[in-house]
Chain A
């Protein structure tokens, strides 16, 4: 075959639409592999660190020789060769789950009831208040840190059970955020539920609360799950408020505990940190991936990951 005909053949193949498409997909797949490597490398690396019993940043390889679950056992802090003063991993995990669950349930109830009023009732100041809620969210509570600290300190002088270093005090502060963007999400969803449902209840003589509780609440399940999960993850991942309000190692949340644990001599705690990080992150990761479509829907309404 002469060189001219080879070039012609090449031209014919490459100009065919099918080839172009395949070529483009192949290139994009290669790019995808690179991107995925960038995206999951830290996760693989932490998995490998967790399984490497040598527990050291310095010597770690991607495939650990003699892999074992030693680091996970060390989280119990009972291994005399790897004893870490204030490591109370399971207490921290429990604290986090407890605080996040209570906050989520309480704030969901406050949010849902408020959203019902905004969606179904007409009253003076309704629109102003809705706008105000949107505007207040602009100021992150991070900026009022000193004030929140003083507030909880003073509250604790009066009722020690809601003061500094208590979970109740922290939960109260989280509650302050329940009149937030989630009201807009919930109200938007409520607006899509036909009024005819309310009216049928009214004809039967049901009160507003009965309509809300017995007729509307069951229909709100999908959005309740999405907002609930987002709010649980948000509280679970919160660091700074818990960091300044809690100061006793048995009161820490997981995020505070892990941060304080890793301060100083990180390289000698690396494997144990990795094991703790995995246990703390995996349930959240799986939930997110399983519900990514619903959550993405909620996000485009304007929330930014905190």
Chain B
């Protein structure tokens, strides 16, 4: 089709240029702020989007892309970038103890101070308030006087200044507003006073060293950029940057650590850590068993229903189909929670009924095998209507004369099903079976909402249960660690492993079904 970019009206051109200017300004401002805050990756992806938008809106050859410019930007920022970021995080130690960037961590480390044996000193007098706050009156060797409060800059002060009383014979004020002067004996006996840092954290701070002396605190850790080491000024010990934690030769570490690339460590941990291996093998096995049984059970029940009611003369066909479709029409979160209530082992209707009729109340939530059965049963309920819908559609497309010919040749119902229905059906719905497998492979909602992965695997290092699948395990690692600390890096590494499994299954499917060829013919 002819494209009409050549005869753009002057008004259209003006609008387009204005749009580009506005977009550039807005995104540019966002990039500037990202850089300021140290969000380098975010700035980079926004820069990519910025360049892309400029090309799309300024080059006439890119005209068609103007129709999808915003959609593409969202796709890059909210779908592709998170995938890439996940890959990056998988190779880092991002998580509790390593949440900060290196700059932030160094800033925090360099705020630590120590009280040197020697150094600039003052003579001091302490004042205490009714609610146990202290201030110090300091006199240095030159006779200059200062007032030191906690959390405020240490300022030069003179007796008689506002809020400060008149001086006594030694030049020390009798009173300070709101505070009571402590005599030398009381001050020397005060247990808290030597632990208090006066002044502002990170700036000049003063601490009491002895009854006669207060001293200026010094920065404890010095960072050397050339060697990437931190030296403890107090002990002289050198700390080396090992995987995002400054660690000394004797194994001492400085908190906080920071985000650092740690290579394949998370993946190696996944494969080898004995504390993880037990639960992970179980989770992996179940992660394949669960979708396999789910797909087979939902497919065959859906297909059985479709075949049973495929007859056009069947009475009440429409209403039966609608009633059977109901599980599919309710948001799954709601139905999963309903099933959770119904399958409550003590109070739920299912166990109350079973108990009354056959005297057995299966422990749906506490015994691994029953919990797995419960999850599969609920998923059968949730999933069969989908296959009922798609197989009844596919059944109608199988030509009737095939069945007639088979009947003439003496084939019974079972043979006709196995030799005609099933193979032809599988061609049509095969990709949907794979898609359903992949969906259930990551069916987080069901596992998490119905049973939260339980019952727990005894002795697991991180929260893990007998019905947990990888994705719910990842969620626990990243967001709900129950006091054990979040492990974004490790969680992302497992996400990558799921990516690879799911991607391999899908690619294999594309190859088997020649989907690409079909796709190419259709476009």
Contacts and interface: CB of A to CB of B under 8 A. Distances in A.
Interface stretch (A12-20, A85-93, A298-306): A298-306
A277 B321 CA distance: 23
Contact of B74 (A159, A178, A188): A178
Nearest to A48: B349
Interface in A23-70: 25, 28-29, 31-32, 35-36, 38-40, 42-43, 45-46, 49, 56-58, 60
A300 B390 contact: yes
Contacts of A131: 516, 519
Interface string A197-225: 01000100001100000000000000000
A113 B82 contact: no
A113 to B, nearest CB: 5
A295 to B, nearest CB: 8
A148 B82 contact: yes
Given A42-B335, A127-B520, A288-B328, A138 B74 contact: no
B369 interface: no
A176 B327 contact: no
Contacts of A195: 1
A175 B76 CA distance: 11
Contact of A138 (B78, B445, B503): B503
B331 A236 contact: yes
Contacts of A117: 64-65, 67-68
Contacts of A46: 338
Interface in B498-523: 498-499, 502-503, 506, 516, 519-520, 522-523
A240 interface: yes
B123 to A, nearest CB: 46
B386 A25 contact: no
Contacts of A178: 71, 74
Report which residue of A31, A130, A143, A239 has the largest number of chain B beta carbons within 10 angstroms of its beta carbon. Answer: A143
A110 interface: yes
Contacts of A134: 519
A6 interface: no
Interface stretch (B105-113, B129-137, B308-316): B308-316
B444 A284 contact: no
Contacts of A270: 341
B348 A305 contact: no
Contact of B71 (A111, A145, A239, A289): A111
B49 to A, nearest CB: 12
Contacts of B44: none
Interface residues of A, number: 100
A80 interface: no
B325 interface: yes
A274 B330 CA distance: 13
B342 A42 contact: yes
Contacts, number: 271
A158 interface: yes
A277 B85 contact: no
B67 A140 contact: no
B254 interface: no
A176 B75 contact: yes
B519 to A, nearest CB: 6
A119 B82 CA distance: 29
Contact of B334 (A124, A258, A300): A258
B502 A138 contact: yes
Given A114-B68, A237-B332, A40 B326 contact: yes
B329 A122 contact: no
A113 B308 contact: no
Interface string B57-85: 00001111101101110110111111101
Interface in B193-225: none
Nearest to A286: B329
B390 A179 contact: no
A253 B406 CA distance: 55
A289 B329 contact: yes
A196 interface: no
A173 B82 CA distance: 11
Interface string B487-507: 010011001001100110010
A170 B179 CA distance: 52
B422 to A, nearest CB: 18
Contacts of B322: 289, 292
Q: Which 7 A-B pairs have the closest CB atoms?
A: A176-B78, A144-B82, A288-B329, A147-B82, A114-B68, A117-B67, A237-B331
30 contacts: A38-B381, A42-B327, A45-B342, A110-B70, A113-B71, A121-B1, A124-B61, A130-B523, A138-B503, A143-B86, A143-B474, A145-B475, A146-B478, A146-B492, A147-B81, A151-B78, A154-B34, A157-B37, A176-B75, A176-B77, A179-B71, A179-B72, A237-B332, A239-B333, A259-B449, A266-B341, A277-B334, A277-B337, A288-B325, A292-B325
Interface of A: 25, 28-29, 31-32, 35-36, 38-40, 42-43, 45-46, 49, 56-58, 60, 110-111, 113-114, 116-118, 120-124, 126-127, 130-131, 134-136, 138-151, 154-155, 157-159, 172-173, 175-179, 188, 195, 198, 202, 207-208, 233, 236-237, 239-240, 244, 255, 258-259, 262, 266-267, 270, 273-274, 277, 280-281, 284-285, 288-289, 292, 296, 299-300, 302, 304-306
Given A28-B314, A113-B71, A135-B506, 15 more contacts: A35-B305, A42-B327, A57-B347, A121-B63, A138-B438, A142-B444, A145-B479, A151-B81, A158-B33, A158-B39, A179-B74, A281-B330, A284-B331, A300-B393, A304-B435
